[in-house]
Structure 1
Amino acid sequence: MVNNLELGKLYLVGTPIGNLEDITLRAIRTLTEVDLIAAEDTRRTGKLLQHLQIKTPQLSYNEHNHNSRIQELIARLQEGESIALVTDAGMPSISDPGVQLVQVAIAQKIRVIPIPGGTAVVSALAASGLPTDKFVFEGFLPQKETERISRLELLRCETRTIVFYEAPHRILKTLTDLARTVGVDREIVLARELTKIHEEFWRGSIGEAIALYTKERQPKGEYTLVLKGTAETNLIISEAELKLELQQLLDQGMTRSQASRHLAKLTSLSRREIYQLDLN
């Protein structure tokens, strides 16, 4: 058995989400000193390394090969090598297959060390102008329409600010689905090309955003959507509404316990009281 003192370390290194100047001195030092960099796209990371004059060898690790790469990387860590995991932009393991490597490393008693860097979710939220004291991050919504609508239905009564990632070719469809589930009047911020030359924050209602991308412009660049949560006054209040919401959650695949716990956050009733509601 390998002694824990001899194990290598897995570094999660945050890289710029656009502007190459947004990298920390600690990140540069780490990328220079590790034995290997596991990168989402070695070509893209190679440009960053060239800019920083770093010559550490790379190995690809991404959604297409992570299952086969994990054991190879873990073996190298167990042999005492240090590895930096990077994604194309931002923090690895956030909406990223890096989380699987992190989980296996932890299970193998390998130390995981985060090297903080920029993230689109926090950058967009901070500059959105929407409440930041409480928020939820949903990452990318499901691509299948039925699954996407079901997910948005679950978020319809969420009071916290909600942050999504979205690709340009799906932005209009996502806005349309949001209009169907939370309404056209809900406030939303569309953050585009964060930290880059054409960075833009568009603020308005979902309905206005749909009109914008239907009539005036074509979506370009990667988007981070920041959606205002529902007002407290819009929460479920009547027993009939509560029963309807409970049944919808059950129909979408939640267990009675999960659905009751979810709805308890939106009412003054306890999880147990909601669980015992008669739906017949």
Structure 2
Amino acid sequence: MSNLERDPGEMRCGAADGGGAESLAGREVPLGGPRAMRVSRTLPGVRRRMIGAWCFVDAYGPEVATMRVPPHPHTGLQTVSWLLSGEVLHRDSLGSLQVVRPGQLNLMTAGRGISHSEESREELLHGVQLWVALPDGARGMEPGFEHHADLPRVSGPGFTATVIMGSFAGAASPATALTPLAGAEVAVSGAAELPLDPAFEHGLLLLDGEVEPLERGPLLYLPPGRTGLSLNGDGRVLVIGGEPFAEEIVMWWNFVGRDHDEIVAFRKEWMEGDGFGAVEGFDGAPLPAPVLPGTRLRPRGRSR
């Protein structure tokens, strides 16, 4: 999925950190044109830009809608597509053609550059779209795509978790991860005790139901050092986490780079070159890149 804002601000991310638990409010962003779905974007946020290598969290639905995201580019990141309801068709410039359904993972590693599209019929859609920033040593790698229909499940006191990325509660996802990560959908029933890796910072997002102490909408941030978290209720929760990302990055539109000049080069290549390849089979034109801001983009700290 893309950042479809026509006037995207600089999304400043980096290594400085500090503080305790935080409630990260989302902002509403349209996904597409005038009849667009609305998504709640909790990362990057006003105060905190990353959780581990996770650098982008959009939640959408449940809503009866049609998803139509034209071909667009990505660099330096992985896209993680996870659904609770509906089906979405992925196409990319590698020739991949794959429907993702609830409980399945579509993982696209952009590496040095890829383009893709996403679309659905009109139906009840509910899901999350996440990005993982690639470390410097991996961001120039060849692009790739993975579909995982069967993911490991693990149970504990009051919960059952599907491990999407990295490892959680002793189980590991088969999906490619380039930094130490945790990503899981956790079904909570009653009083639950979630184990957490104390080396990781974590974020929790309530997907449906009612689960204390989470609220509908905000992302709960937890700093490193915690070995567990008590939850209570009946619902589903997204858990993401990872070792604090040591590198400063620049995010603008659908690109992750390290400085202004890289972003300028990525945009120029998308608009004038062929380095991102072509998406075959989508009925429509690719997305044009927005105009760059008048000031230089700079990598900044993880939090303000």
- Structure 1 or 2, whichever has the larger Rg, is 1
Q: Greater strand percent: which structure?
A: 2
Taking structure 1 as the reference length, the TM-score comes to 0.30
Q: Greater helix percent: which structure?
A: 1
More RCO (CA 8 Å, sep 6+): 2
Taking structure 2 as the reference length, the TM-score comes to 0.28
